[in-house]
Structure 1
């Protein structure tokens, strides 16, 4: 049950923003195995002066960064995460985003850090989530 925050330039039109969000979701479905209906995303466009990224950090030539922050339950193996990054970059390239501009971070937590409505910790009751090796 990931929560995805996508921060990008307001210059990207709504249809492109949607294509970016769709690409991130498709990567999560394909790489992590989340159900297609498990989609919770917040897409936030920003003015140019609100997105400050080093244009050459670690020898990556950035111009128009799309920042994807995914909060999810811990327990996925490294190989799955690396595959997720590759899939996100490939899917966003299909939406017109340069791979150099795709910036992804994962924020991991535990099952008891989620309530998806009604004041309940539904993931605790499930005991596990797609792609994760977790303990209840």
Structure 2
């Protein structure tokens, strides 16, 4: 289970926004073996100048086409799995025209108790939903 927030500057077409979302989802399905139907994305467009993404001292610049991604998921995946996901997202976004330097990803984890998928029920905690990857670390 991944919940993804995607922030971009205004100016992309609806098809372009859909392509960004789909590229990120494809990377997640392939990299983390989440079900195709576990597709939870929130996309927000911002007026020009409302996204600031400097180089953090890494020596490269970003364009106004930066894609800021926040991934929220359950803890338990290895550092290697996370790095592979980041690389897959960058690769899939490159295929839809996003330069590597314009891909910025933040990653946050919590436990099964931190999710409700409707009606205010913590279905992982109650056992109504199986905890993804329980017993295995993709």
User: How far is 1:25 from its partner?
Assistant: 0.5
Q: TM-score, normalised by structure 2?
A: 0.89
**Pairwise mapping of residues 54-93 of structure 1 onto structure 2 (< 5 A)?**
54-55=54-55, 57-63=57-63, 64-93=65-94
Equivalent residues, number: 134
User: Residue in 2 aligned with 1:128?
Assistant: 131
RMSD of aligned C-alpha atoms? Answer: 1.8
**Pairwise mapping of residues 80-119 of structure 1 onto structure 2 (< 5 A)?**
80-119=81-120
Query: Hey, what's the Cα distance between the residues in 2 that align with 1:8 and 1:17?
Result: 9
User: How far is 1:11 from its partner?
Assistant: 1.4
Contact 1:75-1:132 within 8 A present in 2 as well: no
57-66 or 83-92, which deviates more: 57-66
Query: Hey, what's the Cα distance between the residues in 2 that align with 1:132 and 1:22?
Result: 28
Structure 1: runs of 5+ lacking an equivalent: none
Q: TM-score, normalised by structure 1?
A: 0.90
User: Which ranges of 4 or more aligned residues in structure 1 deviate by more than 6 Å?
Assistant: none
Q: Whose helix fraction is larger, Structure 1's or Structure 2's?
A: 1
Is it true that 1:24 corresponds to 2:27 in the alignment? no
